[in-house]
Amino acid sequence: MHQNTNHLRNEFRGLRVAITGGTSGLGLAMVRESLMRGAQVAFVARGREGVESVARAHTGAYGVVGDVSKKDDTHRIALQTVGLLGGLDVLINNASDLGPAPLALLADTECEDLERAIAANVLGPFRLTKALLGALALSAREGRGAVVLNVSSDAAINPYPRWGAYGMSKAALHHMSRIWNEELRAEGIAFLSLDPGDMDTPLHAMAVPDPDRSQLKRPETAARELADAIDQLLAFMHSGRGMLEAAR
Amino acid sequence: MIAAHLPIQRPTQAKLLAVDGRGNIEHWPRSQFADLLGPGDLVVANDAATLPASLSGQHVRSGRLIEVRLAGRNSLAPDGIRNVTAVVFGAGDFRLRTEDRPEPPELRAGDRLMLGPLRATVAELLGHPRLVRLAFEGSPDEIWEGVARHGQPIQYSHVSMPLALRDVWTAIAGLPVAFEAPSAGFALDWSTLESLKEREVRFATITHAAGISSTGDAQLDALLPFDELYRISSATALAAEEARVRGGRIVAIGTTVVRALEHAAQDDGTVTAGEGLATQRIGRTSCLRVVDAVLSGVHEPGTSHHDLLRAFMDDDTLRRMDQELKSRAYRTHEFGDSVFVERIILGVGRMPGQSASIAARADSRRPTPGRPVTVELRPAEPGRRPVRWLH
């Protein structure tokens, strides 16, 4: 397994990290990467069986069964997450919905498929972040730093045909991250919106059923890169320069 | 006074009655709360999120239905959820006034309770037939899930619709350790926090496991508030010290913050960081060593929350405040209006510089809509610190 040797100081040690969509693909890789770096992890996913199986296999990771796209699940997920971790430093909004599968032209996209993508990719992260903002702000006030990573996509920027529902929702998520970053920087909460690249994950397999897997990034690689980005941001926030920016 | 019966945390028409340190009373739109504060002041709020602490279920030995309201715990750590203090009610729910609720079955140590997916044992009775210590079975994550899925926010009959967790979490809710909402904090939203920052007012929080406010049993109610755990970070203790040194006011958002800060206060007014168990009841004879002002809900005389205000002002001022609240139809309870009360300090004030009196400032204001109306002016009493009411 990869050892984090990029930084003399590992910002993840003792961090309290929540990850949505944590039982497969990039989310599961982020659970493992965070644990390996010494974080305490709570992960969220819809299926109880998958949640219990991942929790059993990963000591130190708490599983929370819930659907981030459902409004009524939001505060229950937040309650269990913060209750179990005793606070929260990092939130990774990773759970995503592709929209229509197989992919469809926008003109052929059913409204219900678009609504589902927006519920999972925009409204879900919005609600969960809002419910967890108090815990994140508390972490920031105590000098631990607080980061929200919203997993984005190049489809948030590029208008790829047939990726309409997904691309629209990821564009909204990307812009939401940027606005939140502007509004909450002064509170010491930083937002990242990062494109992990095309990965060999269940979501990608739904979109592209017959891919050239040799061309796809392994989710473990993407998880390491994303964790490095969070690590660097926390290191910056903990430096005098970051504190100065937060105080402005 | 009338009870606020809709679960809206920040209704646009929410009112704020402000009493300064000389007993002057003003009425403000609560949305302008930040205008009462100025550079150097420190606002301290309770960042506890609220647990769904009402658990319905069955008392196994008798087979009777009960409602358990969690009311305290031994530790703020995540596994502190295993052992809790609780008040047990008979059958029914919040729709019936607590004082009209049937008694629960006789409770004995060792009795088992089935509370939805949760299983608990009465570990001991705590000096009253309805007050118990409960031990939950299972791992902390099973207990947290059980509470999250089965529990409902504790509520009272003045709000008729069932509350959801989102109704009782303040905007700044963090660690879920409160058994009832620290509802004075409903007045704060992120925009208010931004306004405070613009006014160079600092903001800090404590975590205080606010307990239940009423049991419907006179004997138990007389014991309220129960002992409550709190945690004060070193950042908050430092902010309090800096405010003290700079002569700013320390403004508590809610009675729980008053209780925690005063419990952690040293004789010299410094605040000790760390965890503690607030055991004191604050009232007329209490000496406030840290808190200069409190933003609180509108409480009926005779409640412990109302009694706490007697530490801030004399009985005559409190009576006038209550009359004002009544005559202007302020709304009571957790979703109601608010009061902002400065403590009366005898002797020399500790703040550098002194602002104009409340009357002079009121005169200088343009009569624009939404501005406060001064309803009563009293001459400053000798030796009392003039309020610093900055804009």
CA A66 to chain B, closest CA, distance in angstroms equals 10
Cβ–Cβ gap B166/A135 under 8 Å: no
Q: Whats the size of chain B, residue-wise?
A: 391
Cβ–Cβ gap B169/A75 under 8 Å: yes
- pLDDT tens, position by position, B174-225: 999 999 999 999 999 999 999 999 999 999 999 999 999 999 999 999 988 9
Cβ–Cβ gap A135/B49 under 8 Å: yes
Phi-psi region of A157 (alpha: psi -120 to 50; beta: other; left: phi over 0): alpha
* Average pLDDT value for chain B: 88
Q: Are A119 and A71 in contact (CB under 8 A)?
A: no
- pLDDT tens, position by position, B223-270: 889 999 999 999 999 999 999 999 999 999 999 999 999 999 999 999
Higher-pLDDT residue of B350, B151: B151
Which structure tokens are listed for B330? Answer: 């302020």
Distance CA B32, CA A198 (A): 50
Q: Are B165 and A76 in contact (CB under 8 A)?
A: yes
CA A31 to chain B, closest CA, distance in angstroms equals 17
CA A71 to chain B, closest CA, distance in angstroms equals 10
Chain B neighbors of A80, CB-CB under 8 A: 141, 144-145, 148
Cβ–Cβ gap A187/B193 under 8 Å: yes
Q: Specify the DSSP element, H or E, that contains A21.
A: none
**Domains along chain A?**
16-247 (3.40.50.720)
Chain B CB within 8 Å of residue A72 CB: yes
Residue B362's pLDDT band (boundaries 50, 70, 90)?
very low
Chain B CB within 8 Å of residue A20 CB: no
Chain B CB within 8 Å of residue A133 CB: yes
Q: Are B317 and B19 in contact (CB under 8 A)?
A: yes
Q: Looking at the domain that runs over B2-49+164-376, which CATH code has it been given? A: 3.40.1780.10
Which structure tokens are listed for A128? Answer: 């969960």
Q: Using CB atoms, which residue from A76, A138, A187 is nearest to B47?
A: A138
Mutate to test the interface with B, among A79, A82, A139, A184 (most CBs of B within 10 A): A79
Residue B346's pLDDT band (boundaries 50, 70, 90)?
low
Mutate to test the interface with B, among A48, A76, A187 (most CBs of B within 10 A): A76
Residue B353: pLDDT above 50? Answer: no
Cβ–Cβ gap A142/B165 under 8 Å: no
Residue B302: pLDDT above 80? Answer: yes
Confidence (pLDDT) at A225? 96
Domain map (residue ranges) of chain B: 2-49+164-376, 53-150
Nearest CA in chain A to B51: A79
**CB count, 10 Å around CB of B360?**
10
Distance CA B271, CA A70 (A): 42
Cβ–Cβ gap A79/B144 under 8 Å: yes
CA A140 to chain B, closest CA, distance in angstroms equals 11
Number of Cβ pairs < 8 A linking chain A and chain B? 88
Cβ–Cβ gap B49/A64 under 8 Å: no
Q: Specify the DSSP element, H or E, that contains B193.
A: helix B190-198
Residue A100: pLDDT above 60? Answer: yes
CA A17 to chain B, closest CA, distance in angstroms equals 14
Residue A244: pLDDT above 60? Answer: no
Distance CA A47, CA A63 (A): 10
Confidence (pLDDT) at A13? 94
Report the predicted TM-score, pTM, of the whole model to 2 decimal places.
0.90
Residue A36's pLDDT band (boundaries 50, 70, 90)?
very high
Q: How far apart are the first and last CA of chain B?
A: 30
Distance CA A55, CA A65 (A): 11
Cβ–Cβ gap A76/B149 under 8 Å: yes
Chain B neighbors of A82, CB-CB under 8 A: 49, 174-176
Query: Which stretches within A63-218 are classed as H helix?
Result: 74-85, 111-118, 124-141, 164-184, 202-207
Residue B160: pLDDT above 60? Answer: yes
Find, among B205, B148, B155, the residue nearest to A78 by Cα: B148
Strand-pairing partners, residue B165, are: none
Domains B2-49+164-376 and B53-150 agree in fold: no
Chain B CB within 8 Å of residue A70 CB: no
Q: ipTM of this model?
A: 0.92
Chain B neighbors of A64, CB-CB under 8 A: 145
CATH of the structural domain B53-150, one choice from 3.40.50.11740, 2.40.160.60, 2.40.10.240, 3.30.300.130 = 2.40.10.240
Confidence (pLDDT) at A9? 66
